[in-house]
């Protein structure tokens, strides 16, 4: 039976996290982060008579002309089942005008076909199985060389969530975005530091950084759950690129997560599945234990016809 409840109930939020130990988007920390952004947190449930049932967070925000309901990580629910009908019924009751369904770290990755679909896209994620015996062993030669080079040069790894670490992370994301812009990619180079502060202060994510001669040269924010880590964002300076810091840092993060009992390290996603792209080669180069998963994302405009017309006119 489908039902939905407030995500501020601590016991229910913890129950959701326990039922989804491999999904960092289902934790109380991530819900707290989204509330700090101004969203209302809900937990959608389809409780089974036998078995664990489905628990999934959704986040609502009201703007001047729209009310958005966002599901960052769709659950593994039948695409034609009563879970999605329950979601639509809830949206009608709450006056939701837009639904955004994504598949970050989703075990399913498939987005249902709902009414009034506005856009849909395919995406892919790279998942490193930390339980696999070949994890971090049979790597691409270039990756192994970069890791050895960084180690030889004395690159160190630190784990921190303080404001200076956040500031360095934002700076390095800007460096990476500028390089992509210089290559002709359509990206923005502006990054909001306040949002990363909210992310780390909520406990949703942690910062891992590579240090060379006292300077941060590569940085990753990792979202955490009981059994998984998700590569939320990363950035590397030109000095970090030269010394292999990005490869060394990912290798170090994966080793740390495995030592802490994590089972998977999701290296993040891409909209381009081309195996010859630089991003794909980087993510798949850490060993044969890395798998590429096909995912989807879609947006739906479910408000009344009059509301949709009014928005277009304005």
129-144: pLDDT as tens digits: 999 988 888 899 999 9
Q: How confident is the model at residue 50 (pLDDT cuts 50, 70, 90)?
A: low
71 vs 189: which has the higher pLDDT:
71
108 has a pLDDT exceeding 90: no
Residues, the chain: 314
Lowest-pLDDT range of 83-87, 147-151, 182-186: 182-186
Cβ contact 211:157 at 8 Å:
yes
pLDDT tier, 79 (very low <50, low <70, confident <90, very high otherwise): confident
> Is the pLDDT at 189 greater than 60, yes or no?
no
Phi-psi region of 288 (alpha: psi -120 to 50; beta: other; left: phi over 0): alpha
| Residue 307 confidence (pLDDT) | 58
Please check whether residue 226 is in contact with residue 232, taking contact to mean a CB–CB distance below 8 angstroms: no
Specify whether the CB–CB gap between 105 and 125 falls below 8 A. Answer: yes
Mean pLDDT of the chain: 90
Three-class SS state of 11: helix
Number of Cα atoms under 13 Å in the Cβ half of residue 226:
12
pLDDT at residue number 30: 97
pLDDT at 187: 63
Q: Are 232 and 206 in contact (CB under 8 A)?
A: no
Q: Which residue has the higher pLDDT, 15 or 277?
A: 15
Alpha-carbon distance values, 13 to 36, 53, 126 (Å): 16, 14, 27
pLDDT value at residue 4: 92
Q: Could you give all domains of the chain from N- to C-terminal order, each with its CATH number?
A: 2-124+295-313 (3.40.630.30), 126-293 (3.40.630.30)
Instruction: Name residue 156's beta-bridge partners.
Output: 211
Contacts of 118 (CB under 8 A, 6+ apart): 299, 300, 301
Residue 232, helix vs strand vs coil: strand
Give the sheet arrangement for strand 205-212, strand by strand. Answer: 2-6, 40-46, 54-62, 67-71, 98-101, 290-301, 117-129, 264-270, 228-236, 215-224, 205-212, 156-160
d(Cα 98, Cα 118) in Å, to the nearest integer? 9
């Amino acid at each position: 039976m489908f039902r939905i409840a407030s995500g501020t109930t601590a016991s229910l939020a913890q129950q959701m996290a326990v039922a989804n130990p491999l999904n960092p988007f289902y934790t109380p920390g991530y819900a707290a982060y989204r509330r700090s952004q101004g969203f209302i947190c809900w937990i959608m449930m389809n409780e089974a008579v036998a078995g664990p049932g489905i628990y999934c967070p959704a986040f609502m925000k009201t703007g001047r002309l729209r009310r958005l309901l966002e599901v960052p990580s769709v659950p593994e629910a039948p695409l034609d089942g009563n879970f999605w009908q329950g979601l639509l019924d809830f949206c009608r009751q709450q006056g939701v005008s837009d639904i955004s369904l994504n598949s970050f770290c989703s075990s399913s990755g498939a987005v249902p076909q709902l009414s009034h679909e506005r856009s849909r896209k395919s995406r892919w994620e790279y998942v490193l199985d930390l339980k696999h015996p070949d994890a971090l062993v049979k790597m691409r030669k270039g990756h192994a060389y970069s890791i050895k080079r960084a180690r030889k040069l004395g690159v160190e790894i630190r784990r921190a969530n303080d404001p200076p670490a956040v500031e360095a992370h934002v700076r390095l994301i800007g460096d990476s975005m500028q390089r992509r812009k210089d290559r002709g990619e359509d990206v923005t180079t502006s990054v909001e530091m306040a949002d990363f502060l909210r992310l780390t202060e909520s406990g949703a994510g942690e910062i891992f950084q590579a240090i060379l001669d006292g300077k941060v040269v590569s940085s990753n924010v990792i979202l955490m759950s009981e059994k998984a880590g998700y590569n939320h964002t990363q950035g590397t300076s030109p000095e970090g690129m030269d010394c292999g810091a990005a490869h060394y840092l990912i290798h170090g993060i994966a080793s740390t997560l495995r030592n802490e009992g994590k089972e998977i390290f999701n290296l993040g996603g891409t909209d381009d599945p081309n195996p010859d792209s630089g991003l794909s080669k980087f993510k798949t180069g850490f060993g044969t234990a890395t798998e590429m998963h096909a995912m989807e994302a879609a947006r739906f405009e479910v408000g009344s016809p009059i509301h949709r017309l009014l928005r277009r006119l304005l």
